Structure 1
C-alpha cells in the first residue's frame, strides 16, 4: 500500500506516473478529496477519462478497485448485499432431515454473515491488508433517484444498515470516485457530500501528451494531424463529439494499418473508430473530411514556419 500524496504537485505526479495527463485543477480536486476523505464527483462527456482516474489511483496507490457499474433499476440487492437463499434452504432442509437444532438458533444462523452475499458497496466497507479500497461508482446518472437516496447514508457515514444484522460501518473509509455523463441531473444532496469537478475535453497540447503516453510508437506528424483533426470536429455540431478514448482508438487503428499520415481516403476508411453515429459519419465522410484535413495541414504548415 502506498501512502496518499502530500500535495497537489505530488497528486499530479502520481497521475502522470500512471500515464494519466491531468491539469492542475483536476490534481487539486483529487488531492483535496484524498486528504480530506470526501468523495470526488466527476462529471463530463463520455470518453473524457473520468473512470480512468479511479483505475490509475488503484494502480498507483496499490489499493483494490471496487467498481459499481450503474444502470437503470440498480437496487440494494445488486449494489450492497443479498442473502444466499439457496444455501439458506439447504440449511433448513438439513435441519429438518436430521431433526437437530432449535428453531430460534436456526433462524438467527440463517441471517448471519456466512449467508450474506456481499456486493460492491459492502465490499468497499471491508478492511483489507492493502488499506481502504477505491470505490468507483460509475455512471451514477444511469440509476434511478431512489438509489441516490440510499447512497446518502453510504457517502455521509460510510456505513450501511442491514435490518437482520444492524449497521455495518467501515473502519477506514474507502476512497470514493463517482462519475456521471450528465444524461440527467444528480440530486444536490449527493453533490453536497462530494467535491465536484467537471472533466472537459483536453486542449491540443494536453491531448498530444496523452497520445504520447497511449501510443508512443506513433509518428509525430500523424499524432499532430490526429489531434488537430479531432479538435476541429469538437467545434462542430455533431450528435456525439469524439472523446479522448475515441482519439486513442483512432490512433491505435491507424498505427495498426501502418499509416504514417492522414489522407482523405484513410479518414473515410477509419471514421467508424472515431465517430459512433451514422449521421455524424455521413456528414464528415467525403468532401467534408478532405476540407477539414486541408485546413489542418495548412494550419500545421503555418505553425511550423512560425516555429
Structure 2
C-alpha cells in the first residue's frame, strides 16, 4: 500500500466510522484489505484503493470500512459489567420501572452479538421476577456482515469456548454440525439493526441501559465527544451508560457523570444517584424494539 493510499484510507475511515488509524497500523490495513481483495477477486490493494478513490461504487467503499472495523468480542467479555448489570442495574430498574414494567437496553457496536445474547441470558435467569415485563434489547453495529452473523446466532467451537459458562451452553445452545446456535427464544429477545455511532439515533427512542464498551478507545477526542453527545440524550432520566474498563466520559461529555461507586458506569449529569434494594417483582415477556 502506498503512503498516499494509506493517508486516503485513514481519512475515509475517520469520516465514515470515526476510526482513528495511526501510522503504526499500516500493516493491519494491508492485512485486512488483502483478505478483502482475495474475497472479491481484486488483483491488488492498489487496484482496490483505485476503485475506492474513483468513488463510483459506494458498496466497495462500505466493504473497505467494514474490513477495517474491529469486531473483537466474546460472551461475557470482562465479567465485571455483567455482574454490574445483574446485581445493580437490573434491581434498580425493577424498582424504578415497577409501574410500567418495561425495560429497554441498547448494545451499541454489538459486533456478532455475543454481548447482547449474554445480557439476554442473564435476563432469562431472572424470568420469574420479570414475569409480565416487556423487555427489549437492541443491538447495533456499523457492519452489516457481522449483524447477519448475530441474527443467525451461530458460533464456532472457539467462539463458544471464549467466556460462555457450560451451564448456559447446555441450556441455550444446540449443536449445528461443527457449530453451536443459540436458541430461537434467545434470538427473539434481541433485535439487530445497522447503525453508525456518528449518525443521528433519535429514531431509537430512549433506553434504561446502554452498553457501549471498548469502542471509544478507537476514536480521537473530537469523535469521542461526538459519540457521547449522541448517546447521552438516548438515556432516560435515571438511565445508565456502561463503558469499557479503560474508557471514560470525564472531560468529554458534560451531560454524563461517573457513578462514584461503580467503575465504568455513567449516568445523566442531572440525575440523582439511585441506591435501591433488589426488587422482589414477580417469566419475562420479551419483544422487539418498538418502532419510533
TM-score range, shorter chain: under 0.3
Greater per-residue helix proportion: 1
Greater per-residue strand proportion: 2
State TM-score, norm by structure 1.
0.25
State TM-score, norm by structure 2.
0.26
